[in-house]
Structure 1
Amino acid sequence: MNYRWKSALLTLIVRQRRSLRESEAAFIVLATIAGLAAGFLTNLQQFIAHSLQHLFYGVTINRLSALASIHHPWRLLALPTGGIVMVMIARLLRGRKRPPIDVVEANALHGGRIPFVDNLVICVQTIISNGAGASVGLEAAYAQMGGGIASVLGQWMKLRRNDLRTLVGAGAGAAVGAAFGAPLTGAFYAFEIVIGNYTPAAIAPVVAAALSAAFVTRELGVEPYLIATTANRELALPDYLAYAGLGIVCALIGVAIMRLVTAAEQHVQSWRRITGWRPLVGGLLLMPIAWFSPQSLSAGHGALHLDLLLRPPVAFLTAILLLKIAASVISLSFGFRGGLFFASLFLGSIVGQIFAGLIHATPLAFTLDTGDAALVGMAALSVSIVGGPMTLAILMLETTHDFALMGVVLTAALISSAFTRETFGYSFSTWRMHLRGASIRSPRDIGWTTSLTAGRMMRRDWVAVTEDMTVADFRARVPLGSASKAIMTDANGHYRGVVVTASAYRPDLEGGAPLEDLATLADVALNPATGINVMLQMFDTHAADELAVIDAEGKVVGVLTEKHARRRYFEEIEASQRALFGET
């Protein structure tokens, strides 16, 4: 009887999984569940991080970065303390063969599959880093856990690759939307930054997840993130031109920050004496910066509102800008974990205020509203670093409720995005993955190309000849018309080249001639791990229509034709395009 109940339960689960794969309504329900979970986990992580800040720094209502000064310098020991915890975590993870997979990498390379342990590692490290006061944001942890829990649900339900990617994007976007109380921002974050495209089939589940996550935030009594703006304004052509210039300035600063983080990280990693203790050293270096300006602590939520309210002079803002950039570079290059999403918003607001202040100092009659310039700078600099121009434009709309400002926000954001793509080509997350060897420039799904390797596509039946044979031996072994080519090896089976059958049957060629003189492509071969892009390039470079596949010892394990490789490549592209438009 017990066996029958288990069998019936298993059958029911299989049917439910099948219905989710076939029913759009069921998939929307699953996305809603993922959104509810993402909203709860986002608020839970926020609570834990703020509790740590309360424990370390004594802050209660105010944000950490809004402190006017650190009254008790000993509290800054929280920074090296957090560094020691990060060192301990790194030692616990020393046996791992690869770094944790984040949501962008998962959707681009792994079809949305994220091991749940990776989610825990990233989130715990980010919460500790932010809670200790390092200059990083929690948004990376929000998106990771939201997308991660969605990935677990999708894998358990055995969703198709494209559906799983959509669900992961919906969960990550829902988490970001819950953090700001801005569901449309979360939806656009999913499309632009995690999924990589807009598809009709994905709109409903992504929006459903974002709305459900924002609902959780409201039900928990968390106030949405709001910024007050100028009530009335008239924006003319000079304003648009000025804000376009601000967009270029923000793009330049954004690219400089990304390159600076990379250069500092590579330089720090070369210091062998502090290997394994980098977070501790980074915490010690952050202490004097935080003592001089608490606005460099954490992500900068409180400092952003404080500076918009007080409108400090340009000199003060410039000092804060440089200190915040230094704190962010030190935090990331010395091993603290977190994102630059909100840090880039804070830095952008400072750049906007400085930009407006410098225009005010000129003898021109033209001026910019400082608050408006701060909001435009927020969007423009964040777009350069994070990506997603519509995401940031919608965030500005949902946090200000100011439709009149959206024209100049979009202008600056689009110019910043285009300038960054043209001169740099990466967002911060994809740039760091590029440095690890992943050839991606966006979250678009290119993971399918990793399955198109020579080892998977080769055929194992080929005509083999040895290098000690004569032309007469070859003609006896390979009759004309039986095979177009033969693979030459030595006595031990090592690859020595390709012999074209037609070349051995030339009328002017004597039968006693050595066959090895006819071998071509002796130095050109594929290995089983060669990817499709390199493979096709080799076919073109060497004008070959068939290449041998050899193992690490140089022995032939298969052959692959250009025709078959290109056919498989175009089949996968066609399948990807069908998935893009929701076709099965």
Structure 2
Amino acid sequence: MTIVTPPNPSQPAVAGGPRLLPVALRNFVRNRETGLVLIAMVVGLLSGLLVAAISTLSQLAHGLLFDIPYDSHLSATGVISWQRTLLIPTIGGAVLAIVALIFARRVKGQQLADAIEANALYGGRVSFRGSLLISIQTLLSNGFGGSVGLEAGYTQICATFGSHIGQRLAARRSDMRLLVACGAAGAISAAFSAPLAGAFYAFEVVLGAYTAAGLIPVIASAVAAWLVARHLTHTSFLMVPGFPSPVSAEMIIQTALIGVICAFASILVMLAVAFSERCFQRLSVFKGMLRPVVGGALLGGLALLTPTVLGAGHGAMQILLVSNPTWLLLATTIIFKMMASAISLGSGFRGGLFFASLLLGALIGQLYSVVMSVPFPTSALQPGTAAIAALAAFGTGVIGAPFSMVCLALEITGDFSVTVGAVVASAVCALIVRELFGYSFATWRFHLRGEAIRGPQDVGWTQQLSAASLMRTDFEGALSTETIGEAQKMFSPARVRQIVLREPNGRYAGLVTSANLHSVTSQTDQQLETLAQQREEYLLRGMSIREILTAFERSEADVLAVVDRPDHLMAIGTVSEAHVLRTYGEELERRNQELFFRQ
């Protein structure tokens, strides 16, 4: 995806870019907060429709492919024939491989960024065609029984529509990022019938900050999506077994312990996905086309043992919560679901771990309650309280959004009392995961790809400030073989602060400060190269401002030369540390103003 500067509202659309909306509408959105709120509501309405459509298509695919009733959940159906259980995921892997092969050329060169990466690096600009491909692959993965959730597809396509509308409005960079967050908020709100969780998800995961300027648009989008989805889909509260455990010191201690358990379990899942990817990367036959096929076959084999590994697991969660399962059934289901999710994502099935983390958390909480009720029958947490606390904690560890998970626990249960434990468990889990691991699932995937992204905060502008854009080209240069005396006559200390040396073949040979040059009073017949500094310290023209600051810190220099490329080393400019720090401070202040105030 090419990063371009948003056009001026009074100018027509750029060739090859999206067609701009009428100038009156663009000015209304850019200059009035009311306009941005109305656009956010439109994004929310579209998000609700998209989520309902994708969810319906997924259910139709499950009914058709696995021969189950339309209104039943795949993971809760135990009447699927063994032939379909084994073959459908395998066939799905083959279909995904073919789709990837067909569309590989069409999206070649485009940045297939999700909402987090788009907001962090590209100012909220998302490739529409690439996002459509990702959403189709997610739907196919889930439809053929992959152990992945649709939430990643929901968020991708809804955030893309927010970004596309923002591009048609020639929105500011900050408003573009906000519209992407509005799309993500609408997606999660519609998927779980949880507007509060959707709004907090947008702030924590997609924007990376809570701001007064973004509060109303995000809430408006989440509520609009919720209103649409509740009329198009059938959502209900999650039934929690037993009575909630009363709030007490014992209850707080036990939920904190659940948070510790979920923290290590969530780290284990993320590492398992990475390990699975490395294993499947060894299948290089036909450029990796066999990976999803092998992954589908392995998933089908696990599904023969338990159908709960198929799909996201919505039905399995409700059944396991109310059926009083044994500790052995819970433990094996947790292990198989972890393996199925790691195999699915590692082999090339598209999707996320959002709902899988909720299911695994609920099962871990139930397992804790069952095990602890044997030695401590009167003081152990009730299964429902333990399950909801672990659900929120495990989701926090994987998604990295504690407030969103607490709100989700409240909204899917409709019971405020059970969310007290969720608050404690989520806080403990978030602290441990940050200290020991440092990543959520999304940012961990970026890390594995080599991207230096730790969150959705806008760091893309730092990539745009390069050495080439910061350097001065009117520098003074001299041959390194010239004598000090000649240079003293040529360069006045009042006019020149530093001299860039070059060898006779044109290669960079270091810097000489004017102060050092004119401090020499004897042996002026020596060559300038004897005074050269920073011979091995220089900047490449493509370095970002953060890499430049690191180079200044390492070299302890005030000025560094900029060279064209490492193999040529032709000096093309100079950059001073003072200028870099001043520019960085000005840009940082400008981004903060964009974040908190609409101008």
TM-score range for the pair, normalised by the shorter chain length: over 0.9
Q: What are the superposed Cα offsets for residues 359-406 of structure 1, whole Å, 9 maximum, x if unpaired?
A: 112257422111221111111101100111110111111111111122
SS in 1 for 2:91: helix
Aligned position for 1:196: 208
| Alignment-derived partner of residue 78 in structure 1 | 88
Structure 2: gaps spanning 5 or more residues: 1-10, 13-18
Q: Measured at CA, do residues 368 and 144 of structure 1 come closer, stay the same or move farther in structure 2, by a change above 3 Å?
A: same
Determine which of 489, 493, 496 is the counterpart of 1:476.
489
Does 1:495 pair with 2:505? Answer: no
Mark the CA change 1:583 to 1:20 in structure 2 (over 3 Å): closer, same or farther.
Answer: closer
Aligned-partner residue type, residue 571 of structure 2: V
Match of 2:8 in 1: none
User: 5 Å matches for 1:341-352?
Assistant: 341-352=354-365
1:420 corresponds to which of 433, 446, 458: 433
Task: Provide Cα deviations, 1:268-311, integer angstroms capped at 9, x if missing partner.
Answer: 21343462321111111111101111000111101000101212
| Percent identical residues | 36
Report the equivalent of 2:551. Answer: 538
Q: Output the CA distance in 1 between the equivalents of 2:74 and 2:420.
A: 33
TM-score by length of 2: 0.93
Deviation at 1:535, TM superposition (A): 1.0
Find 2:419's aligned residue among 375, 384, 406: 406
Which residue number in structure 2 is paired with residue 28 of structure 1? Answer: 37
The DSSP-based 3-state class of the residue aligned with 1:513 is: coil
Superposition deviation, residue 74 in structure 1: 3.5
Shift of 1:408: 1.0
Q: Is the 8 A contact 2:244 2:384 kept in 1?
A: no
Distance change in 2, residues 1:66/1:113 (3 Å) = same
Letter in 1 for 2:45: L
After superposing the two structures, state which structure 1 stretch, 230-239 or 477-486, moved more.
230-239
* Deviation of 1:330 (Å): 0.4
- 8 A Cα contact 2:240 2:321, kept in partner: no
The partner residue of 1:67 within 77, 96, 108 is 77
Distance 1:368 1:105 in 2: 39
2:178 corresponds to 1:166? yes
* Alpha-carbon offset, residue 476 of structure 1: 2.6
Measured in 2, the distance between the counterparts of 1:59 and 1:341 equals: 24
CA distance in structure 2 between the partners assigned to 1:99 and 1:55 by the alignment: 34
Counterpart-to-counterpart distance in 1, 2:297 and 2:399: 28
* Preserved contact between residue 27 and residue 205 of structure 1 (Cα < 8 Å): yes
Match of 1:561 in 2: 576
Matched, 1:466 2:479: yes
CA contact (8 A) 1:135 1:297 kept: yes
What are the equivalent positions in structure 2 for 1:445-456 lying under 5 Å apart?
445-456=458-469
Q: CA deviation at 1:90?
A: 2.0
CA distance in 1, matches of 2:231, 2:301: 40
Q: 1:320: which partner in 2?
A: 333
CA shift at 1:16, angstroms?
1.7
Q: Distance in 1 between matches of 2:165 and 2:552?
A: 42
Cα separation, 1, equivalents of 2:482 and 2:157: 63
Q: In the aligned structure 2, how far is the partner of 1:454 from the partner of 1:507?
A: 32
Moved more, 492-501 or 135-144: 492-501
The equivalent position to 1:573 in structure 2, one of 588, 591, 594, is 588
Which piece of structure 1 moves more, 301-310 or 355-364? 355-364
Offset at residue 69 of structure 1 (A): 4.8
User: How many angstroms apart in 1 are the aligned matches of 2:543 and 2:345?
Assistant: 33
C-alpha separation in 2, matches of 1:75 and 1:375: 30
Once the two structures are superposed, residues 65-123 of structure 1 have per-residue CA deviations (whole angstroms, 9 ceiling, x without a partner) of: 00125334234311111111111122124342365110110111111110101210110
> Comparing 188-197 with 474-483, which one deviates more in the overlay?
474-483
TM-score normalized with structure 1 length: 0.96
The 5 A counterparts of 1:206-221 are 206-221=218-233
**Which residue does 1:3 correspond to in 2?**
none
Q: Superposition pairs for residues 61-210 of structure 1, below 5 Å? A: 61-95=71-105, 96-97=108-109, 100-210=112-222
Give the secondary-structure state (helix, strand or coil) at the position aligned to 1:443: coil
Q: Secondary structure at the match of 1:211?
A: helix
Out of 219, 238, 243, the residue aligned to residue 255 of structure 2 is 243
The structure-2 alpha-carbon separation of the partners of 1:291 and 1:193, relative to structure 1 and needing over 3 Å to count, comes to: same
Distance 1:221 1:416 in 2: 32
Residue type of the partner of 1:118? G
1:226-237 residue pairs with structure 2 within 5 A? 226-228=238-240, 230-231=242-243, 233-237=245-249
Out of 58, 81, 94, the position equivalent to 1:49 is: 58
Q: How far apart, CA to CA, are the structure 2 residues paired with 1:405 and 1:181?
A: 18
2: CA distance, partners of 1:507 / 1:166: 59
- Alignment deviations for residues 186-222 of structure 1 (CA, whole Å, 9 cap, x no partner): 1111111111111001111111111110111122253
Q: Any idea what the Cα deviations from partners look like across 1:327-380, whole Å, max 9, x if unmatched? A: 001001111110000000000011001111111122574221112211111111
Q: Report the alpha carbon displacement of residue 247 of structure 1 after superposing the two structures with TM.
A: 0.4
**1:210-239 CA distances to partner (integer Å, 9 max, x unpaired)?**
111011112225334533454564221101
Amino acid at match of 1:218: R
**Contact 1:69/1:294 (<8 A) preserved:** no
- Distance in 2, matches of 1:511 and 1:129, equals 75
Which residue is 1:520 aligned to? 533
